[in-house]
Chains A and B, each alone.
Chain A
Amino acid sequence: MLWIAIRMLTGDAQKFYGLVFGIAFSTLLITQQLTIFVNLIERGASGVYNVSSADIWVMDPVSRTTDVAYAMPSTALDKVRSVPGVEWAVPHIRAQASVRTKDGDLEGVAVIGVDDATLIGLPKRMLEGSTDVLSQPDSVIIDDVGTTRMFPGQSPIGERLELNDQRAVIRGIADAIPSFTSTVVLYTKYSQALNYVPGTRNRLSFVLVGAENPLEAKALSERIERETGLKAQTRDEFAQDGVQFIIENTGIPLNFGITVMLGFIVGVAIVGLTFSLFIRDNIKQFGALKAIGVTNSKIRRMVAVQAGLVGLTGYGLGVLGTVFFIWGFSGDPTFKGFYIPWQIPLISALAVAVILALTGWLALRNVLKTEPASVFR
């Protein structure tokens, strides 16, 4: 009977494609918009995720994100090192600066100073050059998105910049996830960064901490807070802080929420209408089947299989569409590092299931209500 159900469904090509399109469109809209949404707000955490080795970030109690940070006295580093359970701690400076390019233009950049000795704080991978170039005088490493912004269509290696009246030579390109604002990022040594950033007395933005036992990072961060009076966040907490900051300070969640809702509603509308039409067209056949001797539960199963086929096909195509979208735009710097979190296809699958359950249930009500006796009228 299920075979017949599928035949019935696909027999009406128009409605079948209508249904598949509806589901595919809904899936595409929901998945793609959620993906872009998640990736966009996770840009708020890119500063944290670019540093691959720090378990805990220690900062001034008023600091909020990697970009909204208040500097600490340099001895904060030693205080943090004094806390039991801290395996290592290194200084980290993040600051805004203006850079003068060769053409004389001003460009706002983020200067990130990493620990001189260990270079902890650099992104994990380099696109060009090695991290060792920082040992040369006046060296900076630029991030790849910054390259496309400041030096479109040319190699930035060897370019000279002027930062706070100091010379800076770009000697490498880092492979990093851009920040929310896609600011150009220049990585340099901590000691060098102090020269590049116009000075205030305190400049240490963060202390990056490696925990003796990374699994107990949370407990350690609490101990650091207790013993030093500074604010300590585990990597995930701090990433979450960055995301939260974007959510609280932009209209992005609302906008995307509306689009996702629209996707859902469009899906319900298209699929619901088409499915109802399909069932109504076939109500006589269903009635005949009921008279011949097909139980309601079998009818339910038939409709479920029909919904399942539509759902699977439409969902598959929709997800495929999203994948093509993300893949197609992966070369664009705006979409750099975009990925599809595995939860999102599950969410859209759930949405598809809800759409189909809702519309299937509505359509089934008609079928189940049909008196088999109606076939004689």
Chain B
Amino acid sequence: MALDWKNLSFSRQILPAIALLGLLAAVLFIFVGLPDRNLTEPDREPPRAPAELAAQARVAGAGVVEPSSETIQIGSALSGLITGLFVQPGDRVTEGQVLFTVDDRAVRAQLREANAAIAEARASIAEARSAQATAAQQLALYRNVDDPAAVSRAEVIRAEGEAAAARERLSLAQARLQAAQARAGSAQTEIARLTVRAPIAGEILAVNIRKGEYVSTMGGSGSQPFIEMGQTQPLHVRIDIDEEQAPRVALGAPATVSPRGASDRRVEAEFVRAEPLVVPKRSLTNSAAERVDVRVLQVIYELPETNGLFRVGQQVDAYIAAKGAEE
């Protein structure tokens, strides 16, 4: 149709043109406006099955990192104020190294008292010995005098009595010495007990006490342990396996473990043992309500050295080969 601009007809040309343009605009609008329902890759890497297990039978579980010695919660045998704290979290300690000391002034006073008693007993012993010697010499003197008249019978008896008394005093003093020595030993033991030492070599994981605080044998405030330590070389990881899945786990096979939030960094962990006791699943989700309807098999794996990727108490995701996969 030849376009004659002067004779442009609204109904024949302009309206259909508007309609066509409108259609084009509508097509554009429709295709631009279509909702974006494309699947996208997650922004952050979620835990994935390792490549070698991707297409195979496998068992997944969640777990917590723990020291190979398990966590040792250090307690105190005696109550008292803390007078010295010698470690901080992260310190490596050797077996027997002093961790903290509890106020020992009372016990030291007892020790000094006992030592004084020892000295006193020793003096008594010396005094008794000298008295005994004196009495013995006098008695010998009297016994060597042949003349009965020269020494009266009474004198002899008195000298004999004195010698016996001196002997008694000596043994008494000796007994007192032993008692004082025992007291001193006991005080010394107490002093040793007021110094808390590392039971094994390992790493200090948490210190929940500060100098000047009162520790009781009943445990710390909020039932926190005073100090937590454990052997972190190597670290272990305790994987919970749902009891329904438990029979499928290939015990002995290594596990692929990745920490929460860094699931692209996977390590292979060596099998250590499976706990003989199947326990109720401990909630790992910070929920106050415990879930007791699910029981889990706990399997322990040894983590390789990873330079700080894993820390004690961290949650991990783990993939373990299932029994079928090994065949």
Contacts and interface: CB of A to CB of B under 8 A. Distances in A.
Chains A, B in direct contact (C-beta < 8 Å):
yes
A191 B285 contact: yes
A319 B21 CA distance: 11
B33 to A, nearest CB: 4
Interface string A166-180: 000000000001000
Interface stretch (B35-43, B156-164, B211-219, B299-307): B35-43
A49 interface: yes
A120 B287 contact: no
A339 interface: yes
A120 B42 contact: yes
B66 interface: no
Interface string A41-57: 00000000100111100
A87 B35 CA distance: 26
Contacts of A55: 39
Given A201-B291, A202-B291, A327-B29, A81 B35 contact: no
Contacts of A200: 289
Contacts of B319: 81
Given A82-B60, A323-B29, A313 B261 contact: no
B12 interface: yes
B285 A74 contact: yes
Contacts of A202: 291, 293
Given A10-B9, A124-B40, A319-B23, A195 B294 contact: no
A74 B8 CA distance: 73
A286 B267 CA distance: 87
Contacts of B241: 78
Interface string A194-208: 110001111100000
A320 B25 contact: yes
Given A10-B9, A316-B18, A87 B29 contact: no
Interface stretch (A12-20, A104-112, A292-300): A12-20
B26 A312 contact: no
Contacts of B108: none
B203 interface: no
A195 B319 CA distance: 28
B59 A75 contact: no
A215 to B, nearest CB: 11
A20 B15 contact: yes
A326 B34 CA distance: 12
Interface in A27-86: 49, 52-55, 73-75, 77-82, 84-86
A210 interface: yes
A313 B16 contact: yes
Contacts of B48: 87-88
Interface in A1-22: 3, 6-7, 10, 13, 16-17, 20
A313 B55 contact: no
Contacts of B25: 320, 323
Nearest to B292: A201
Nearest to A119: B44
A79 B245 contact: yes
B288 A313 contact: no
Contacts of B23: 312, 315-316, 319-320
A316 B20 contact: yes
A226 B244 CA distance: 14
B294 A75 contact: yes
B102 interface: no
Contacts of A291: none
State the 4 A-B residue pairs at the shortest beta-carbon distance, nearest first: A316-B19, A81-B60, A320-B22, A88-B46
Interface of B: 1, 9, 11-12, 15-16, 18-23, 25-26, 29-31, 33-49, 53-62, 240-242, 244-245, 248, 260-261, 263, 281, 283, 285-289, 291-294, 296, 317, 319, 322
22 contacts: A13-B11, A49-B35, A73-B293, A75-B294, A78-B241, A78-B242, A82-B57, A82-B60, A82-B248, A86-B49, A88-B263, A90-B46, A124-B36, A194-B287, A195-B288, A199-B287, A203-B287, A212-B55, A316-B26, A320-B19, A339-B30, A340-B29
Interface of A: 3, 6-7, 10, 13, 16-17, 20, 49, 52-55, 73-75, 77-82, 84-90, 115-120, 124, 131, 177, 190-191, 194-195, 199-203, 210, 212, 214, 235, 309, 312-317, 319-320, 322-323, 326-327, 337, 339-342, 345
Given A81-B60, A87-B49, 13 more contacts: A10-B12, A49-B35, A74-B283, A75-B242, A75-B245, A82-B57, A85-B54, A88-B42, A200-B289, A313-B15, A316-B16, A316-B22, A320-B22
